[in-house]
């Protein structure tokens, strides 16, 4: 009975959560590419102007990020200035929720065929590594361990806190700037 009443609220809440998380991740991708040399090294291999999309099928929330050169990423929101070069698409919002609520690792989601990759696979592998590195910075260790295949042993608390603080500050600033415009 209770489930019957709660069910109509679950779906919009899930949609809202996934949409919000994609916005946070898009901004965080831009932020981490501004402060982390390892992410910059990974992103440098992408062509300048390379557009990456992560979205929920069939036409749900999405994030669009562009490699603007020198390893820097730029978050475009949910609208792409031109056709994207690489798209990672969740087959259903339930699958996106599993990954974005850290109940299923990104790598496991790939293995479970929750997502479709359209574009060059080597770039998808690279973007996954960037996403993993971002998650290890911005999530508490216990949560990050659920999100990535292996939590890096070399990442110690002071570095993690320092990077996370900078990323969150940049994300918050970006949210405020976007709201103003």
Residues in contact with another protein by CB under 8 A are 45, 104, 107-108, 110-113, 116-119, 121-122, 124-126, 128, 148-150
- Compare residues 148 and 171 and give the one whose CB is closer to another protein: 148
- Compare residues 80 and 107 and give the one whose CB is closer to another protein: 107
- Compare residues 112 and 173 and give the one whose CB is closer to another protein: 112
Q: Closest separation between CB of residue 32 and another protein, Å?
A: 18
In the numeric block, the tokens 């990974």 are attached to 42
Q: Closest separation between CB of residue 149 and another protein, Å?
A: 4
Separation of alpha carbons 96 and 14, rounded Å? 9
64, 65, 66, 68: which is closest to 78 by C-alpha?
Answer: 64
- Compare residues 101 and 170 and give the one whose CB is closer to another protein: 101
Q: Where are the beta strands (DSSP E) in 11-158?
A: 50-56, 62-69, 72-77, 86-90, 115-118
Q: Closest separation between CB of residue 112 and another protein, Å?
A: 5
Separation of alpha carbons 66 and 102, rounded Å? 25
- Compare residues 28 and 115 and give the one whose CB is closer to another protein: 115
Q: Closest separation between CB of residue 21 and another protein, Å?
A: 20
Separation of alpha carbons 141 and 163, rounded Å? 13
Q: Reduced to 3 DSSP states, what percent helix, strand and coil does the chain have, rounded to the nearest 5?
A: 60, 15, 25
Q: Closest separation between CB of residue 76 and another protein, Å?
A: 23
């Amino acid at each position: 009975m209770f489930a019957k009443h709660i069910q109509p609220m679950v779906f919009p809440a899930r949609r809202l959560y996934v949409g919000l998380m994609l916005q946070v991740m898009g901004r965080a991708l831009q932020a981490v590419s501004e402060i982390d040399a390892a992410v910059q090294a990974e992103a440098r291999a992408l062509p300048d102007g390379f557009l990456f999309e992560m979205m929920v099928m069939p036409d749900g929330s999405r994030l669009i990020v562009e490699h603007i050169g020198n390893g820097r990423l730029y978050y475009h929101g949910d609208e792409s200035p031109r056709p994207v070069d690489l798209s990672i698409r969740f087959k259903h919002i339930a699958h996106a929720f599993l990954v974005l609520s850290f109940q299923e690792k990104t790598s496991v989601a790939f293995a479970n065929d929750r997502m479709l990759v359209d574009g060059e696979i080597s770039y998808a592998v690279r973007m996954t590594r960037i996403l993993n590195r971002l998650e290890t910075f911005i999530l508490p260790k216990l949560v990050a361990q659920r999100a990535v295949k292996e939590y890096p042993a070399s990442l110690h608390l002071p570095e993690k806190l320092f990077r996370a603080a900078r990323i969150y500050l940049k994300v918050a600033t970006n949210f405020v700037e976007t709201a103003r415009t």
